[in-house]
Amino acid sequence: MRVITGTARGRRLLEPEGMAIRPTTDMVKEALFNIIQFDIEGRRVLDLFAGTGQLGIEALSRGAAEAVFCDESRSAVKLVRANLERCGLKGRVELCDSLGYLKGAGKFDLVFLDPPYDTNLLEKALELIQNVDILNDGGIIVCESRREKALPEAVAPYRKDLSRRYGKVCLTVYRKDA
């Protein structure tokens, strides 16, 4: 697991022990960032269900102005902090219930949702983001799920923009229209 490009390019990130955290593969991460490559610089990013923090770290490396990392696991929060330090990057790391955090999170331009598979956390997070309206106009939500999981359509001004499969993984992108 490494940072693909930007100021921290090539830096190896610490990986979790065991199977409690499932990091995004480099192939999927590269595909994800190819999709949103022109929507990162100067943006405020939320890496919900952060795990290792690699998605938010990649965004910071590519010029995001700010990143907030949320996870309910103490070991994940420790891992995110260590990976930020390894890359020489700064971000706000929160030990908290991810869904609860959304209720008072403020506004973001880019949100990464990669919760544990085989839960309903992804659908709940999508619903909360739309109801609380934490995305700025033109904002993007990127979801990672199992290939066979169908994600819901969005409610205006949000819309499901695209869904692409990479091996066993599906990336779904939602956008908020201006």
**pTM for this one?**
0.94
Question: For residue range 55-84, what is the model confidence (pLDDT) as tens digits?
Answer: 999 999 999 999 999 999 999 999 999 999
Q: Is the pLDDT score of 178 beyond 90?
A: no
Q: Is the pLDDT score of 129 beyond 80?
A: yes
Question: For residue range 152-163, what is the model confidence (pLDDT) as tens digits?
Answer: 899 999 999 999
User: Rounded CA gap, 150 and 132, in Å?
Assistant: 23
**Mean of the per-residue pLDDT values for the chain?**
92
Peptide bond into 115 cis (omega under 30): no
Cβ atoms of residues 51 and 58 within 8 Å: no
* φ and ψ at residue 122, rounded to 5 degrees: -65, -50
